[in-house]
Structure 1
């Protein structure tokens, strides 16, 4: 079910800027994985959401599943390394994340994958970002969310109790350590009223 987009009462609609990363909080997970969370990292996130809806060349994809080809339940666009991002604040976000995690990651964030969840029918199934080096090496995926909050779930690979984060309106969530290999994440469908959300995933080179 979809609902009209409603901005956060705490969000500044005219001033789009990043807050400091000093308040980020880490939760250790099993198997050497961890997750960092910083609510409202991006002020003015609702303004950025509206700009991205209009300016990103969103693509609807189809993928084989079992014996048929199905629509991917979200719109997508991927920015390879050295490609201009659709808004200067995303360059600032990528640079800030690269600087903050330089010692742990050992390299900058290079790419940005954008997903547009239009309503509660759009989703992504349980998975890890294991195309490329994420299948064999510890890495990081930093997710900046704008628009209405949606549930992002994490669980140990193979099943187990899940963790639930409601991310939107400029929230930052970073998955690191072995998280892509030993844990899975998902954005499930929901029958509850759900406004639109855009997820911006920053990754190092050769991680998908």
Structure 2
């Protein structure tokens, strides 16, 4: 039994993880991006691109990542107390070996496809494991590493059960867009999206299995 399964047993998540880790023989590969990406324009110069089912063999990759990634928990200061981060994490810097060759290919394909628009390649890969509906990420924009007027891109590849990525304009309390992402789906947030909009994976009381998100970013962006 893997360390991550042991760590989640106390929260009755082991069965959910095992239920999702099916079809080890499934081929892991990427579909083309050209002609298959749908751009949705937001406001203030922001946009998102959607490519459903970009990754083929999502169940097989989910299996490998759950078992093979060095997942760890974090605690962070929240006002006057320290709280648990409600998800498991792992970060791969630009010189770190990624846990499966398909992720190197994904980073290269994204850099080739968006290179002219972004002006630089994708360099790093952050990973989050959402074990069930209680795991989440709060409203935020990935603004670390860029100036207040600098645009960037964040590309997120999802495997596992679908979770809703919500977006809203910065300063608003109303969710403007919701994108259920899972099972090989790709979303790219570009233009001014990280500066002028926020995104979140909110908690849900609905039964939901585990999901892993792989976030590709340019150098220095967090």
Match in the other structure for 2:16:
4
The alignment covers a number of residue pairs equal to 207
Give the TM-score, by structure 1 length: 0.94
What CA distance in whole angstroms lies between the structure 2 residues aligned with 1:145 and 1:18?
13
Q: Which has the higher contact order (CA 8 A, sep 6+)?
A: 1
User: What's 1:44 paired with?
Assistant: 57
Aligned counterpart, 2:47: 34
Residue 27 (structure 2) aligned to one of 3, 7, 15:
15
Q: Deviations over 1:120-168 (max 9, x none)?
A: 0000000000111164310000000001100110110011342000000
Give the corresponding residue for 1:54: 67
Question: Residues of 1 paired with 2:214 and 2:16: CA distance?
Answer: 21
Residue ranges of structure 1 left out of the alignment (5+ in a row) = none
**Mean CA deviation greater in 125-134 or 185-194:** 125-134
Report if the CA contact (8 A) 2:124-2:217 is conserved: yes
- Is the contact between residue 20 and residue 209 of structure 2 (CA under 8 Å) also seen in structure 1? no
- Looking at structure 2, the residues matched to 110 and 93 of structure 1 have their Cα atoms a distance apart, in angstroms, of 11
**Alpha-carbon distance, 1:106 to partner:** 1.0
Please tell me the root mean square deviation across aligned C-alpha atoms, in Å: 1.9
For 1:119 and 1:105, the matched residues in 2 are separated by 34
User: Cα–Cα, structure 1 residues 134 and 26, in superposed 2: closer, same or farther, change >3 Å?
Assistant: farther
d(CA) in 2 for partners of 1:136 and 1:54?
A: 40
> Which one of 116, 129, 138 corresponds to residue 125 of structure 1?
138
**Cα 1:137/1:170, change in 2 over 3 Å:** same
Measured at CA, do residues 57 and 161 of structure 1 come closer, stay the same or move farther in structure 2, by a change above 3 Å?
A: closer
Is the partner of 1:139 in helix, strand or coil? coil
